[in-house]
Amino acid sequence: MSIDRKILLLPGDGIGPEVILEAERVLECLNSKYSLGISIEKALLGGVAYEESGDPLPQETLEKADWSDAILLGAVGGPRWDDLPSEKKPEKGLLRIRAEYDFFANLRPAILSKYLVSASTIKKELVSDLDLLIVRELTGGIYFGEPRGFIEKNKAINTMVYDEEEIIRIGKVGFEAALKRNKKLCSVDKSNVLEVSMLWREVITELAKDYEEVQLSHMLVDNAAMQLVREPKQFDVIVTGNLFGDILSDISAMLTGSIGMLPSASLNESGKGLYEPVHGSAPDIAGKDLANPIAAILSVAMMMRYTFDLEDIAQEIESAVDSVLSEGHRTSDLESEGKLLSTKEMGNEILTKLEL
Ligand code: NAD
């Protein structure tokens, strides 16, 4: 089943190249197993790109990003580049590529395998088998609204603004994601106080008429923060604005307790996506073959699901990861009673399952 699509790999800095190499091996394996006809290219982003060209997002990388249907990114940054001017910093390269393609929909699943419940600080029965998805609006809201800035030395302003179109496009992503899952969507806002949220709630309620199969609920953000910790499994998909999503997605990530396990996706209206692990470049363990590659590998699963619409393959990757965990295999970031696996060894275990 050739899908004739193109993927750009941006390994980046620190542990980025190590985890992306394992994700690439997974991609190559599936490409040949199912004759997907996927073409893969690589390019530089972040500190390595700055070292090579003086720019954290070189023109050549942008050209390859234009060519691709989906981008898989490792991580960028590290102490070596901390003192550069902000335009040259590795993180600036990432922010620019997100802006370049208008990746307005950020999808952050919080999935806790039943084999890793002890990693969470929350009671086992509350988080075992947790599987929720936060859909966060990424290019609007208070992080971008005008006016903004310091009005005087001791007075500053930011503006929360959303228009109907912005709410509709992120709302659709939330409803579509819910359709692919358990058909439950919770829209989070602060409509008891903010007019932006009143509009948000009105527009999402109207949009629900196009998605009769999906059960829609609304929740105020302060309550949502409490409920995520009190009874997280009541949620399936949450859709919310930029600021609330930023905070709620970090709360939900911490429910799982293991940063090396969490993938993410940022999508634009054409379905093009930037897929990346939630973790950073982990300079403390870079180059030591210790990093957990699972977040990067699960980012490939998200790519199969959201850009290529290959749900079966997405599930196959997720099952392979789960099966490896069920056998007790762990990298150094996860609690273990047995021998710890290196990055490569964890990749090998997952590949063995996929090759079956
Ligand atoms: P980090 O996520 O890189 O590391 C936090 C801790 O988690 C470290 O102890 C690290 O060893 C561990 N860790 C992270 N990923 C792991 C993995 N896959 N396997 C095992 N252990 C893992 O966050 P930080 O230390 O705050 O940031 C380090 C650098 O990464 C900074 O330069 C920061 O700007 C950058 N960063 C980049 C991104 C990105 O590229 N999207 C995101 C966050 C941070």
Dump pLDDT digits (tens) for 142-151. 998 999 999 9
Q: How far is the C-alpha of 277 from the C-alpha of 275, rounded, in Å?
A: 7
> Band of the pLDDT at 167, cuts 50, 70, 90?
very high
Give 301 Cα–ligand 1 centroid separation in angstroms. Answer: 21
| Contact partners, residue 300, CB within 8 Å, separation at least 6 | 23, 26, 27, 72, 275, 317
Residues pairing with 51 in the sheet: none
> Band of the pLDDT at 20, cuts 50, 70, 90?
very high
Q: How far is CA 180 from the centre of its chain?
A: 17
| Contact partners, residue 258, CB within 8 Å, separation at least 6 | 116, 119, 292, 333, 334
pLDDT at 147 (0 to 100):
96
Total Cβ atoms within 10 A of residue 124: 11
Where are the alpha helices (H) located in 120-220, listed in sequence order?
Answer: 124-127, 164-180, 195-207
| 8 Å CB contact between 154 and 260 | no
Give 193 Cα–ligand 1 centroid separation in angstroms. Answer: 36
Both structure tokens of 321: 């990861």
Mark whether 333 is an active-site residue: no
CB distance 333 to ligand 1 below 6 Å:
yes
Average pLDDT over every residue of 245-257: 91
Q: What number of H helices and E strands is found in the chain?
A: 12, 12
CB distance 174 to ligand 1 below 6 Å:
no
Share of the chain above pLDDT 70, in %: 100
- Going from the N-terminus, what domains does the chain have, and what CATH number goes with each? 1-104+268-356 (3.40.718.10), 110-261 (3.40.718.10)
pLDDT at 356 (0 to 100):
81
Give the pLDDT confidence of 213-244 residue by residue, as tens digits.
999 999 999 999 999 999 999 999 999 999 99
Average pLDDT over every residue of 336-351: 93
Give the pLDDT confidence of 297-334 residue by residue, as tens digits.
999 999 999 999 999 999 999 999 999 999 999 999 98
Average pLDDT over every residue of 61-68: 98
Does 13 have pLDDT greater than 80?
A: yes
Q: Which residue has the higher pLDDT, 257 or 89?
A: 89
Average pLDDT over every residue of 64-73: 98
Where are the alpha helices (H) located in the chain, listed in sequence order?
Answer: 16-33, 47-53, 59-67, 90-100, 124-127, 164-180, 195-207, 221-230, 242-256, 294-306, 311-326, 343-354
Average pLDDT over every residue of 184-188: 98
pLDDT at 335 (0 to 100):
79
pLDDT at 145 (0 to 100):
93
Share of the chain above pLDDT 90, in %: 90
> Band of the pLDDT at 2, cuts 50, 70, 90?
confident
Mark whether 322 is an active-site residue: no
Average pLDDT over every residue of 100-122: 92
Does 75 have pLDDT greater than 80?
A: yes
Task: Among 6-10, 59-63, 119-123, 149-153, name the one with the lowest average pLDDT.
Answer: 119-123
Q: How far is the C-alpha of 137 from the C-alpha of 196, rounded, in Å?
A: 14
Q: Would the CA dihedral through 168, 92, 8, 297 be positive or negative?
A: negative
> Band of the pLDDT at 258, cuts 50, 70, 90?
confident
pLDDT at 351 (0 to 100):
98
Give 281 Cα–ligand 1 centroid separation in angstroms. Answer: 5
pLDDT at 109 (0 to 100):
96
| 8 Å CB contact between 277 and 302 | no
CB distance 296 to ligand 1 below 6 Å:
no
CB distance 58 to ligand 1 below 6 Å:
no
pLDDT at 134 (0 to 100):
97
pLDDT at 1 (0 to 100):
75
pLDDT at 120 (0 to 100):
87
Give the pLDDT confidence of 33-49 residue by residue, as tens digits.
999 999 999 999 999 99
The structure's pTM equals: 0.93
Among the atoms of ligand 1, which is closest to the Cα of residue 16?
40
Q: How far is the C-alpha of 340 from the C-alpha of 256, rounded, in Å?
A: 20
